[in-house]
Amino acid sequence: MKYREFIRILIDNGFAIDRERGSHKQYKGLVDGQPRLVTVDYSQPGEDIQIKNFKSMIRQSGLPKKLFR
């Protein structure tokens, strides 16, 4: 999955950019009434996400894994 696709899923589920520093952007949202903060590290939105980063970002988001297939 590409970073821009991942970010689109976050935005479609109520997340919004909270802050940005260098190549890291943090998206903030509510999932099941709980505040969530997802750090997205990328330099180019068209790049593929490394699997370890992908799993970590899904965990941070608290969203169901099936959304990211």
Four-way CATH pick for 3-63: 3.40.50.720, 3.90.1010.10, 3.30.920.30, 2.40.50.140: 3.30.920.30
Residue with tokens 């593929």: 48
Q: Token digits for 29? A: 């949202």
Q: Token digits for 39? A: 């750090």
CB 40 within 8 A of CB 51: no
Q: What is the pLDDT of residue 45?
A: 80
pTM reported for the whole predicted model: 0.91
Instruction: Name residues whose C-beta falls within 8 Å of residue 21's C-beta, 6 or more positions apart in sequence.
Output: none
Give residue 46's pLDDT band: very low, low, confident or very high (50, 70, 90).
Answer: confident
**Whole-number Å distance between alpha carbons of 37 and 39:** 7
Element (H, E) at 57: helix 51-61
Is the model's pLDDT at 23 over the cut of 90? Answer: no
